[in-house]
Amino acid sequence: MEVKDKVVVVTGAGRGIGAALCRRFAAEGARLVVVSDRDESAAREVAAALGSRGIANCCDVAIEQDLQRLVAQAIQHGGHVDVFCSNAGITFKGGLESSNDEWQRMWDVNVMSRLFAARAVIPHMLERGEGYLVHTASAAGVLTEIGSASYSVTKHADVAMAEWLSVRYGRQGIRVSCVCPLGVETDMLDDSDPIHRYLHLHAISADEAAGSVIEGMRKEQFLILPHPEVLEFFRLKTEDYDRWVRGMQRMLQKLTRAEQKNESAAPLKSDG
Ligand SMILES: NC(=O)c1ccc[n+]([C@@H]2O[C@H](COP(=O)([O-])OP(=O)(O)OC[C@H]3O[C@@H](n4cnc5c(N)ncnc54)[C@H](O)[C@@H]3O)[C@@H](O)[C@H]2O)c1
């Protein structure tokens, strides 16, 4: 799909990848870009920079009524929704010690938001016989994120949701892309975390990630991988799951040792 003349909605668009997607959609000639974020002033700033093509919306994606309102506002201004990008996402570090509240928040923002968005927008898309859903999941959704159990689990769930939507509605004109980047230079990368520092070494800019999304949408690809090495890691995983798990265990050990020695994780190679 070409986004020229399309009506596009992006959640979590006040900064980072979402803001870059909005700028790129506008540059590609989208008719209307609805810049939605929980942080209303950030959404307004991004929308203002798009001129007459951009409008701002305040929506917490963990709240179903907010998503219903977002879709209604987009239809009111644009007549319909061609592309809905479920991009907003959060992370908490930690494993078993993460609190139940943190797990619940991750589930609500990273997973239920995708369900709420699909429920709100798919009926309108089905009426028109076409529509495009873009999910920003993560490489953690096909591989894992060593430093965050809840991120790994919820991003796997997001990939599963995107797969299911594509299988269920693909023949009715609904296209789905699932974007699975490794590190992207946004506020989400926390350099005090050794795993994030490692991700930062291979990080791309948010604008580069947005460019990959445009390319992937042009080809209507289900899996959009802004870092091509993710495909290689994913293949290794499916070819020999046990070897991949052992490789990840080895990487964790190296990262932990490097942290203990207070060394840079720079020389590490992903051999997973
Ligand atoms: N940065 C990375 O390295 C990276 C890698 C892979 C995937 N991702 C995914 O990309 C997406 C965007 O992340 P980013 O790196 O741009 O992060 P970011 O923190 O820079 O931006 C996230 C935006 O989402 C908004 N947001 C947070 N919770 C929200 C909520 N409940 N409702 C509405 N908006 C909310 C924030 O206000 C912020 O503007 C996320 O889904 C993230 O998991 C990021």
The CATH number of whichever domain residue 145 belongs to comes to 3.40.50.720
Is residue 215 domain-resident? yes
17 C-alpha vs ligand 1 centroid, how far in Å? 7
Percent of the chain with pLDDT over 90: 88
Strands across the sheet containing 174-179: 54-58, 32-37, 7-10, 83-86, 131-136, 174-179, 223-224
Residue 191 in contact with ligand 1 by CB distance below 6 A: no
Q: Does 261 reside within a domain?
A: no
Q: How much is the pLDDT for 256?
A: 82
Give me the pLDDT at residue 270, please: 40
Res 87: pLDDT: 98
pLDDT at 171 over 70: yes
Instruction: Work out the pLDDT band at 56, boundaries 50, 70, 90.
Output: very high
Q: Is the pLDDT of residue 269 over 70?
A: no
Say if ligand 1 is within 6 A of residue 17 CB: yes
Closest atom, ligand 1, to C-alpha of 181: 6
User: Which amino acid type is present at position 33?
Assistant: V
Residue closest via CA to ligand 1's atom 23 equals 12
Report how far ligand 1's centroid is from the alpha carbon of 2 (Å): 24
3-state secondary structure at position 141: helix
Check if 18 has its Cβ closer than 6 Å to any atom of ligand 1: yes
Domain ranges, residue 155: 7-239
Write down the pLDDT at residue 201: 85
**Per-residue pLDDT tens over the stretch 5-22:** 999 999 999 999 999 999
Report the C-alpha gap between 202 and 197 in whole angstroms: 9
Question: What are the residue numbers of the active site?
Answer: 151
Do the domain assignments include residue 88? yes
Mean model confidence pLDDT for the chain: 94
* 189 is a domain residue: yes
Ligand 1 mean position, distance from CA 125 (Å) = 25
Question: Is the CB–ligand 1 distance for residue 87 below 6 Å?
Answer: yes
Mean pLDDT on 74-90: 98
3-state secondary structure of 57: strand
Residue-wise pLDDT tens digits, 182-197: 999 999 998 888 888 8
Identify the weakest region by mean pLDDT among 11-15, 208-212, 251-255.
Answer: 251-255
Residue 213: pLDDT above 60? yes
Per the CB < 8 A criterion, the answer to whether 191 and 200 are in contact is yes
* Cα of 92 from ligand 1 centre, angstroms: 12
User: Does some domain include residue 263?
Assistant: no
| pLDDT, mean of residues 129-144 | 98
Residue percentage of the chain with pLDDT more than 70: 96
- Does any domain span residue 54? yes
- The answer to whether position 262 is within a domain reads no
Q: Please determine, for residue 267, whether its predicted confidence score (pLDDT) is greater than 80.
A: no
88 CA closest ligand 1 atom index: 24
Summarize the confidence of residues 77-88 as an average pLDDT. Answer: 98
DSSP 218-260: HTT-SEE-SSTHHHHHHHHHHH-HHHHHHHHHHHHHHHHHHHH
Whose CA is closest to atom 7 on ligand 1? 138
Q: Is residue 244 part of a domain?
A: no
Following DSSP, what letter does each residue of 60-75 receive, concatenated? -TT-HHHHHHHHHHHH
Q: How far is CA 188 from CA 81, 171, 236, 272, in A?
A: 28, 36, 27, 24
Q: How much is the pTM?
A: 0.95
Q: How many domains does the chain have?
A: 1
Our answer on whether the CB atom of 189 is closer than 6 Å to any ligand 1 atom is: yes
